[in-house]
Structure 1
Amino acid sequence: MLTRLGLVFHNLKLSYKLTIAISFVCLIALTLFSTTTIMIYKNMMTDKEISSTLTNLDAFRGNLNNYLNGIDKSSVLLIYNPAIQDHLESNADLLNPEDRLKAFQDINQKIKEIINNSYGISSIAIMDNYNNAFTFGESSNLLTSAPNGNYRDTAWFRMAENRDGLYQWEITDWSQSKKTMHMLRSIKSIRNQQTLGVVLFTISPDILKTMFTSDSQMDGIYSIVVSSGEIYSQDESGRQQSIIDTSKMNAAKGHYFTEAGGKTYIVTYSTNPLTNWKFTYTIEQNVLFKDIKYIYFIWVVFFIGSFILISLISLKISKSISGPLKTLTILNKEVERGNLNVKFLSLYKDEVGILGSSFNRMLDNIREGIPLRREKMLRSILEQNMSKEEFMELNQLTALPLIQPFYQVVLIDFAIDLPAHKLKLMEERMYRYGETSPMVCFTLKPGQYCILFNDSKEETYRITNELIDYYHTQLEISAVGYIGNDYNEIYFVKNSFEEAKELSKYRFFIDSHCMSYEAVMGKVWQTTYPDKLENQLKYYIEQADPEQCRTLVGNLLIFIRDNNIKPFIIHTLLANMYIYLQQLSVKHHVDPQQLFDPRIWQTDLLVDSQGSFQRNFDELIAAIEKYIQAIGGQGARSLSPAIQKAVSVMEAEYNNYEMGIDFMARILHINSVYFSQLFKKELGTSFMDYLSQIRLGHARRLLGESNLKIKEISKEVGYADPHYFGIWFKDKTGLTPSQYRNQST
């Protein structure tokens, strides 16, 4: 998917790509900036909330401690009162009724005074060692929980005794399912420090509620966690039990984040060293950030506005960059069409201006060298069978106007040397046709011009006759035109050229100013040999195209019937095709006997009826199809004439020190880069690797079969430096030349 999107992006126009690229980069920058800003803002709000909460918790802790210290002082005044001490030292149950009543009244009076002089105390209870309880105020469930009224057996009584006179604050269940605070403290004798009992102060929960509700931070929930893990909270739903986690409260104060019920909460805590309680403040993160939606809205508006503005600016910038490049592209297309009268106007000295100046210099060089390049290109087409792919690659620099599937070569000869002015008029007339018709022409040699037509056979004949008539009637020049056969592939231009040259042999036997190969050969044979169809059939066999081969064999049958071809000509044609098939089979390591009887062309083929030669051509097409199947449908296609020649040269001159890509490209008259790519494409390996394999084979043979010194063998296989030869040979075989020779021996 990403690869496909990348391909679509790369195929867009440059201005669109620049606009998208710049906008995309800015989009990422804006996204990162906005995301980072929001994160920073959230962190700032979180830090501010936590700092404010810790301050409030510290203030709450201070106020509560002041209050608790006041209660503690009241408890000290109460339990160390001499009257209270006296009454607790004896068992009140053993007193007479009057003394017992007086003891209870004295203790209750002291308790009442403390309650009346203090705020928030719900009740005070004193339990002595004799299980007597002196209480004033609401009854606590701590008292009612004593089994059989035996207070000394309760856990809280023993806990107070173990504190050795120090107070202990706890939050416990109160009656009617309410939570309340208790202060427990053992009562010590002033005289001997013996435990006389325990005092229990009960504080109203309203004290904590008042302190909680008086705080300005009301979006969250305040809670108190006592040392036993019990939680007192404003939230009566019990959710705080799942939110508050004491295992995360490792420091004296701090905060942590937690998940509960699909929501995120921030819990801030502070420990009270006086009671060892932890005061907490819990707030839902979304509640803390409830105002951030307005910031999000502002950011969205800013983001969209900025992105639109950036897109417009990037579009403007991309057009300023792509505009000159688009102009260069248009000019380049004009050059491809053959129009060299263009020029790029460089307004600035930036990279685009430098590129435009280079384009202009390149055009100047092309204008100066295009005639020579075109002539060299045309000579290459005439001298070798060139495939369409090779032609398209090489034609990029020359831009020959050969785009139609018609190719026919015409040679024009002049019997006498021409004066300069007539030569100029003759060439002007020829080139004038080249401006309006799909044809290219150049001087083949003094007194002979070559024209390659890229139009129908009828147009070729018409223009050639008009030119010859003009030269005879207007310029009084003795000129003769030789016309080769017409073909539908660039590959056969060489054949058409050879046919046109062949006509010159019959110049003095035929009285005509314009001769076609087809007509002349018909008179020579007294019938027409189908050389054009034969050439095309050979080409499509090389191309491994069975459909085209069947079509051409059918055309051959029609040609034979329509022209009443003699049996010996058919025999010659069939023999040529079977010989050609045998050559291709040997070349591609295919046994010819798998395709046909190799002696088939050695027998006399007396073809005298339509049925018999129909059978012969059916056998021919069957042999062709077997060959194409044997090579996998692509073997013959893999070696173009240029590569065939290159392989032949490499096998013959493998010991040439200059052998390389540039050396071979000069021999073949083609571009070295194109040759390297073509060689790798057709043979599946690089030029140097192929050459290395040839040299390695000869080196092995010489090391194993000859007595030549290694230095001499090095030169024999194309390496001037024996040391480098040794390194190369070991890299290829894993053995040094000496080791290989010893092993072979």
Structure 2
Amino acid sequence: MFKVLLVDDEPLIIEGMKALIPWEDYGLEVAGEAYDGTHALKQLQETSFDIVLTDIKMPKMTGLELITHCKELNSRTKFIVLSGYQEFDYIKKGLELGIENYLLKPVNEDELINTIGNVIEKIEKDTREDRNRASYVLRDNMLWRLLNQDIDEKEWRQRAELYQLSLDKPVMTVAKIRVDENACLDPEALSKARTEIENLIDSVCIISPDNDFIVILSGQDEKQQSEKVMNLKTYLQESKQFGYFYLSIGRSVASSSELQRSYNVASELSTYQLIFEPNTIITEKLTKRFIGKNSVKQQDFIQLAKYVLNQDVDRAKSWLDEAFLQFDQQDCLYPPSVIRQYMIDLVITVQKSAMKEIFYPTTKLVELIMKSHSLADLRRIVEQYIQDLIETCSKQTVQRSSIIQSILDYIHEHYSEELSLKTLSQRFHINSIYLGQLFQKELGIVFSEYINHFRIEKAKELLKNTHQKAGKIGKCVGYSDTTYFYKQFKKSVGVTPTEWRSMQRN
């Protein structure tokens, strides 16, 4: 039963309300009574009520103030307002607060019963939607595990039966839909779109953690699958809420146990949005012309670093113009993985060359490069990086004090030794607290982060150019604790030292 709270500063009104309506006949229970707003709020804080009938004018707290406070506690509670006055300001404020109705005293029985009936319908609808959402969450989680091979066959079959899913058709394909990130679809809009997609092409659609639509198409033959893909494209084009979109089509498979292969292909194809125009259907056939295109014209990254250090904006921009030109030519096509790796190599080389002069946290930058959705977006990211470096270099050329420069020179020579603000303050005869503040002010980063980043870069050099064990390399660059070195390396680079070394050699 749904719980009702009656609120009025006149006890006789509450008794009359209790007698006026056969509450139980409507599936309702009068579970609370209050004689002022403060008393009512206390009950609402302790108990969850579905419906509140409240007077407007009461001592200590008005009915509208009560509603305002209650909305912060439970936005699902429905309010019906009672008043002895037809006051427009109260009605207007009540409507702004989302009340169900504004009834005048003495209350008309039929009007109250009709209002309560409408409120019950709303509550039941909300309850059904909550259950549907909960069911979708469980179903989506199960399908996500299937696509990532994180569920065994027996459990999958049991769960599929529970959610009445039948995916085993002669032909099955996973499609991945990525929409304009600026579309800013809220959870309700995403859920509505998912339902529309499922109904339109008789498919199963889930929403990934990245808010992509993952559609499992199933049919009797390839022709039927192609028709569903085209219907899906038409829907995406005609729906204005998505902005642009990319529709990546995985490989056809014959059983649900093979869906992961189809999903992996769709995910790989979705990276090609970097080089294709929006509103494109991306297939394996479309990307075949990129196979074997791994030889990128190598440019002098060191020269770009020199332009940065010399604060030569025009030459740095011209260098980038030439670099991006090779990726924008129709007769010289490169897959996204090659383009992104090129840009990551650029960032790492420039940063390494400029390390003694400026510091820039590259971990977040690499993440942005990997998530870039077009060449224009990628160029914006790299240009911003170069611009930030030049501006930082300009500031540091002017602002860096002789004491900080001396300390940096010492760090670059003695990074393998124990270094701390305390040891440096003693060596350079400066207060350690003041040194920490000055270091952060002039370099824009705290001392511990700077030394950690510098040591990680030195560790990378040794990992790439020597055969020493990773633990020994950690000690060579200043980490006395091997475990701490592994932890800091993975935090900074994203992989372990051994994994990074393997990636460089492959």
Please report the TM-score for the alignment, with normalisation by the length of structure 2: 0.28
Please report the TM-score for the alignment, with normalisation by the length of structure 1: 0.20
Higher radius of gyration, 1 or 2:
1
